[in-house]
Amino acid sequence: MKSLVLTVTLFCLLAVVQAQDDLPFLSEDRNMSGIWYHKAIVNDLNITELRPMKIQKFPLVVRALQKGNMEVTLTFLHNGECVQLEFLMEKIEKPGLYKAVWDTLLTYIYELPVLDHYVFYSECKLIDGKFYVAELIGKDLNENRQALEEFKKFIQLKGFPPENIIVPEQREMCVPKVHNDA
Ligand SMILES: *[C@@H]1O[C@H](CO)[C@@H](O)[C@H](O)[C@H]1NC(C)=O
Ligand SMILES: *[C@@H]1O[C@H](CO)[C@@H](O)[C@H](O)[C@H]1NC(C)=O
């Protein structure tokens, strides 16, 4: 009996220590509605061709819905064309956890100790495996060194290769054609 108590206590202590290393999850009462920007992106794929890849800072429009769900709209330039992607991030029971795109994307949202900065940590399932992506999201286009440092600490903890970090360049935002017609 005593050893069971000891085991349970140790387990809880470990869980607490573990939790302190990690960032806090997005709090339930936070309304993320608004425009956000990607400030850094990292993946754990071992594809060297992707490493020098340059991407623009593209906006992410979030609309907070009922039950913690969120509607996300991404607008970005792809092969010279402005593309708009809209998807639902469905809140699931576990704290900070959302699923999207027919369950192929599981995303944890963490709060950074820097105002208006968050981390989206996603598991993307493919037919033949899965990979992980972490994104630093901020409310403005300005560079925030402290947020980037916190993000680097986080991705190191999650085991991402630091050479895979991409810091998007700021370029002109594009406007999708579909919206001009409407
Ligand atoms: C990454 O890929 C290269 C060749 O494509 C290989 O030599 C290397 O061992 C791989 N690294 C990891 C961590 O899988
Ligand atoms: C979040 O805030 C926006 C306005 O900023 C509001 O329209 C929306 O209803 C809010 N969503 C929730 C779930 O409170």
CB 16 within 8 Å of CB 131? no
Indicate which residue's Cα is closest to atom 10 of ligand 2.
Answer: 64
Backbone angles phi, psi at 41, to 5 degrees: -135, 140
Q: Give the ligand 2 atom nearest the CA of 66.
A: 13
pLDDT band at residue 127 using 50, 70 and 90 as cut-offs:
confident
Q: Give the ligand 2 atom nearest the CA of 65.
A: 13
- Report the C-alpha gap between 117 and 111 in whole angstroms: 7
Within the chain, how many helices (H) and strands (E) appear?
Answer: 3, 8
pLDDT band at residue 106 using 50, 70 and 90 as cut-offs:
very high
pLDDT in tens, 42-71: 999 877 666 556 677 778 899 999 999 999
Pocket test for ligand 2, best of 27, 29, 33, 63 (most atoms within 8 A of CB): 33
